[in-house]
Amino acid sequence: MKVSVGLGSCGIAAGALEVWDAVQKVVNKDGANIEIAVTGCIGMCHLEPLLDVIENDGHVFTYGQVTGEKVTEILSSHLAGQGPIREYIVSSSEMSNDFLKQQVRVALRNCGRINPESLDDYQAQGGYKALEKAMKEMTPEEVISELKGSGLRGRGGAGFPTWFKWNATREAPSNEKYIVCNADEGDPGAFMDRSVLESDPHSVLEGMAIAGYVIGSNTGVIYCRAEYPLAIKRLEIAIKQAKEKGLLGNNILESDFCFDIYIKQGAGAFVCGEETALIASLEGERGMPRLKPPFPAQKGYWNHPTNINNVETLANIPWIISNGGQAFAAMGTEESKGTKVFALAGKIKHGGLVEVPMGKTLREVIFSIGGGIKNDRKFKAVQMGGPSGGCIPEELLDIPIEYQSIKDTGAIMGSGGMIVVDDTTCMVDMARFFLDFTQKESCGKCVQCRIGTKRMLEILERICQGDGREGDIELLEELAVEIKEGSLCGLGQSAPNPVLTTIRYFRSEYEAHIKDKKCPALQCKNLITYNIDAEKCKGCGLCAKKCPVQCIAGERREPHVIDQDKCIKCGTCYEACPTKFAAVKVD
């Protein structure tokens, strides 16, 4: 029998190390004939910690929300031949989880299924066969042709055709060229790249090696933010293993092709997700964008031709070479081929990673796969594309997920973050949050981005504080146009998107804040009031006891009153009031 524990960052945060320790104790104490292994994240983050039991006959049982106490019970049942404990199972060989069975996994094909620290596990799934095929059976031109036929577009946000970037770098005249993996995943709520690096690092290394062979490069660089220590650790292990097996380094697969990869840790600057800012950071400079042209494919890292792809794009490459470009193109839509990975976060029941063919609707992803909204509240919007994206309302939930359709809404596909919000979310405050993020992350090179986003943020803060003025909405729209047109890189060009889309679809909320001095979502503190309904209040005193500023007064068994001058709008009284009374009201 084999037991594996999901030890991705999400699993560890949920308590998987306790589960891992408990499994080891069972094995050491009873001398049980159990093989134990580490695996990455399969995507079901909402059910972590996850534990897989693989019986000798090949049957797999996945247990969710496992604790140290449950481990002994689960393993004892299997060891005693009593079979699985059904109430803890979330998936099995016979019963596929609804979250997983609606997915088509290409980039995530090995995530949560192999030991990310084992090259043997990766090769058992066909790992490095694509590199061997490309080098021994295909010319560089044939590989590029296969990528062109696949329709693969960059999964980092821009959606640029991958084959075109590879070909441009290949044709650029130079004796030295570079392959760069952009793993500087900085969108709030996005964790696709981190999960792939932690769960299947060899797929990215293999994709980079194929790119090196095609383009004529001997050096690859993975630019990964330092906030991803587990991803970096597993990448280092994978690079070492691949070198020892002759899959990286000198004379790969006994050929003349040499390709080495090293890791550069970034400081976590959002702007370094932009190609030229990333290159500046790689060269030891402050991460600031440069004018284009020349493009990185012409003059990139140290002024040499450089091809930059993100993690998900590179993880798709081995699958495409092994299965053929047409197999990838057969999924998705005419303009958006293949699959796309999304990180579901926010007010959603089944948060985690999903990979679906392009063309699926937002409704299918959020409600069929994601399980709908937490606590069955009403869906309000989904933020796509992170700070560079926009908010898509309920009336557009049935649009297909493809580059142009998402762009038409005012949002962007981005790297794949989906933050779902319900009716308790203030859309003005949400726009303020994302603009605050981009304003702080602006490198400051462009006046429009540096000053313009600051002015927009000041207006949004005024509106949320109840000091909005007539004309603020129009001023926000005017500033947005100036910033988009005058900024050098994608950060400034897209920074106004969350504001523009919330104005476009939720203008009434802005007007309520400005004209009525009310927050319809009851979230902006300066625009709400807590009151106690004298008819419903039983005088239990719980609200008064919990109040941090002692602004509630009243005799026992008599209606209580809130002193509005002292109230700090913390909501403690609302949470303390027993549900059966519901005496505290928010207006």
Give the mean pLDDT of 317-346. Answer: 96
Q: What's the CATH fold of domain 2-96?
A: Glutaredoxin (3.40.30)
Q: What is the pLDDT of residue 158?
A: 77
Q: What is the pLDDT of residue 30?
A: 66
Q: What's the CA gap between 347 and 560, in Å, rounded?
A: 33
How does pLDDT run across 151-209, given as a tens digit for each residue?
999 998 778 999 999 999 999 999 999 999 999 998 888 899 999 999 999 999 999 99
Q: In 177-286, where do the E strands start and end?
A: 178-183, 219-225, 260-266
Give the mean pLDDT of 309-328. Answer: 97
Residue corresponding to tokens 């509630």: 552
DSSP character at residue 78? H
Q: What is the pLDDT of residue 166?
A: 98
- The domain defined by 427-516 carries CATH number 1.20.1440.230: yes
The closest alpha carbon to 9, from 228, 312, 267, 202, belongs to 228
Q: What is the pLDDT of residue 443?
A: 92
Cα pseudo-dihedral 476, 482, 487, 493, rounded to 10: 50
Cα pseudo-dihedral 569, 575, 576, 580, rounded to 10: 130
The closest alpha carbon to 200, from 27, 386, 355, belongs to 355
- The domain defined by 119-328 carries CATH number 3.40.50.11540: yes
pLDDT class of 348 with cuts at 50, 70, 90: very high
Give the mean pLDDT of 372-380. Answer: 96
CA angle 70/74/75 to nearest 5° reads 120
According to CATH, where is 3.40.50.11540 located in the chain?
A: 119-328
Q: What's the CATH fold of domain 339-422?
A: Ubiquitin-like (UB roll) (3.10.20)
Q: What is the pLDDT of residue 188?
A: 85
Residue 577 pLDDT > 80, yes or no?
yes
According to CATH, where is 3.30.70.20 located in the chain?
A: 529-586
Q: What is the pLDDT of residue 58?
A: 85
User: Taking the CA atoms of the chain, what radius of gyration do you get in angstroms?
Assistant: 27
Phi/psi of residue 54, each to 5°? Answer: -110, 110
Q: What is the pLDDT of residue 34?
A: 86
Give the mean pLDDT of 483-506. Answer: 94
Give the bridge partners for 310, in sequence order: 182
pTM of the model: 0.93
Mean pLDDT taken over the chain: 94
Tokens encoding 64: 């969710």
How does pLDDT run across 8-38, given as a tens digit for each residue?
999 999 999 999 999 999 888 766 788 999 9
Give the mean pLDDT of 252-268. Answer: 95
Residue 449 pLDDT > 70, yes or no?
yes
Residues 6+ apart with CB under 8 A from 209: 131, 220, 247, 248, 252, 259, 261
Q: What is the pLDDT of residue 96?
A: 73
Q: What is the pLDDT of residue 471?
A: 96
- CATH code given to domain 529-586: 3.30.70.20
According to CATH, where is 3.40.30.10 located in the chain?
A: 2-96
Residue 236 pLDDT > 90, yes or no?
yes
Q: What is the pLDDT of residue 469?
A: 96
